């Protein structure tokens, strides 16, 4: 097998296809090679992690990944050090719903398959609540566009390198704001899921730019629902509430006064010290209609469908607080 031990299981490697043309891949010297007669791209395998990119449809290049390092991850590493320092003071963020939602996802997945196989996009870091997907009951395929401690394959959601209808679940948590074409990515998620496969997505709504240049889009609750219109909804709503959104806005109001990194760090620390308590209101607010209109982030749990939610039905699903504008049934 490619001369190195792959982090993906052999069964999962058997499900991989070329992200450029969809042809099967074959083992080659320290790489996986496309068997397509026209394409023939060779995908490097670095420290057991295949780099499965379609360069013509991605912000990333093979050359961004060499010897187990990448530009994006180095930036993220600095962020983590900074985060460890700021761990000394209270945080402004609180995900109220993640744990309960991942538990529900795990319960639903167990109903459908013996050992459900779950693709995690953006899986180089472990999101709160994902502990419900750990253990022998599930097979996690953790992918990202960076080498994190958990990355098993470099995958860009615009071209997911799996064959059609082969996965039981997909988790896409805090990822869709970072992709150039969320519609394309969700279409790919739909393609690789088995019939009745499940998706769990969390995406920011009221949040300031993070990850620097790799941040493009935000979604309202209904905007997010429309993105997943080829899925039947199991549950959706606000995951992070208006208290967190207000704390973030306050923090970014303060940091907008300066571009100096040290000054911004001090202002961030000050904001956290003086506004951390706002997030506690989210435990009370999270399911309220007004909070859905002002949430820091929204979630969607759904099942792959062969039909699409009509736009007239989409707006009937508005659950916010602006009563006068609610469409008639
Ligand atoms: Zn190919």
DSSP class per residue in 1-42: -TTS--SS-HHHHTTBB-TTT--BEEEETTEEEE--SS---E
Q: Which domains are delineated in the chain?
A: 1-50 (no CATH), 73-325 (3.40.50.150)
* Two tokens, residue 281: 């209101």
pLDDT the model gives residue 149: 87
Residue 14 Cα to ligand 1 midpoint, Å, equals 15
Task: Tell me whether residue 226 is exposed, middle or buried, using C-beta atoms within 10 angstroms of its C-beta: 0 to 12, 13 to 18, 19 or more.
Answer: middle
* Two tokens, residue 28: 């080659």
Residue 18 Cα to ligand 1 midpoint, Å, equals 5
pLDDT the model gives residue 80: 60
Residue 21 Cα to ligand 1 midpoint, Å, equals 4
pLDDT the model gives residue 200: 98
Task: Identify any residues that bridge with 120 across adjacent strands, giving them in sequence order.
Answer: 142, 171
pLDDT the model gives residue 49: 94
Residues around ion ligand 1, judged by CB within 5 A, are: 18, 20-21, 23, 34, 36, 39
pLDDT the model gives residue 5: 84
The Cα–Cα gap between 170 and 249 comes to: 31
* Two tokens, residue 149: 């401690």
Residue 31 Cα to ligand 1 midpoint, Å, equals 13
Residue 56 Cα to ligand 1 midpoint, Å, equals 12
Give this prediction's pTM: 0.93
Give the DSSP letter string of 78-141. HHHHHHHHHTTS--S---SSHHHHHHHHHHHHHHH-SS-EEEEETTTS--TTGGGG-STT-EEE
Q: What stretches in the chain show pLDDT beneath 50?
A: 1, 76-77
Radius of gyration over alpha carbons of the chain, in Å?
20
pLDDT the model gives residue 182: 98
| pLDDT tens per residue, range 137-156 | 999 999 999 988 899 999 99
Residue 159 Cα to ligand 1 midpoint, Å, equals 11
pLDDT the model gives residue 323: 75
| pLDDT tens per residue, range 98-120 | 999 999 999 999 998 899 999 99
């Amino acid at each position: 097998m490619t001369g190195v031990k792959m982090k993906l299981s052999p069964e999962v490697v058997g499900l991989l296809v070329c992200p450029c043309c969809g042809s099967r891949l074959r083992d080659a010297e320290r790489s996986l090679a496309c068997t397509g007669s026209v394409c023939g791209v060779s995908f490097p395998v670095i420290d057991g992690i295949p780099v499965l990119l379609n360069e013509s449809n991605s912000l990333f290049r093979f050359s961004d990944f060499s010897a187990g390092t990448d530009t994006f991850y180095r930036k993220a590493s600095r962020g983590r050090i900074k985060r460890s320092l700021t761990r000394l003071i209270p945080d402004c963020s609180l995900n109220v719903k993640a744990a309960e939602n991942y538990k529900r996802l795990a319960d639903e997945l167990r109903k459908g398959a013996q050992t459900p196989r779950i693709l995690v996009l953006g899986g180089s870091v472990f999101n709160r609540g994902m502990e419900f997907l750990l253990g022998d009951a599930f097979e996690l395929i953790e992918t990202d566009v960076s080498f994190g401690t958990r990355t098993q394959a470099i995958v860009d959601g615009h071209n997911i390198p799996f064959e059609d209808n082969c996965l039981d679940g997909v988790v896409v948590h805090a990822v869709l704001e970072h992709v150039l074409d969320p519609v394309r990515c969700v279409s790919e998620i739909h393609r690789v899921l088995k019939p009745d496969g499940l998706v769990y997505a969390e995406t920011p709504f009221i949040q300031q730019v993070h990850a620097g240049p790799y941040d493009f889009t935000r979604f309202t609750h209904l905007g997010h629902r429309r993105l997943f219109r080829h899925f039947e909804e199991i549950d959706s709503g606000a995951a992070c509430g208006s208290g967190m959104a207000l704390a973030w806005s306050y923090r970014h109001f303060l940091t907008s006064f300066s571009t100096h990194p040290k000054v911004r760090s001090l202002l961030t620390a000050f904001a956290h010290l003086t506004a951390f308590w706002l997030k506690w209101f989210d435990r009370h607010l999270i399911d309220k209609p007004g909070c859905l209109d002002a949430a820091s982030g929204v979630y969607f749990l759904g099942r792959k469908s062969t039909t699409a939610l009509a736009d007239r039905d989409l707006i009937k699903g508005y659950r916010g607080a602006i009563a006068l504008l609610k469409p008639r049934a």
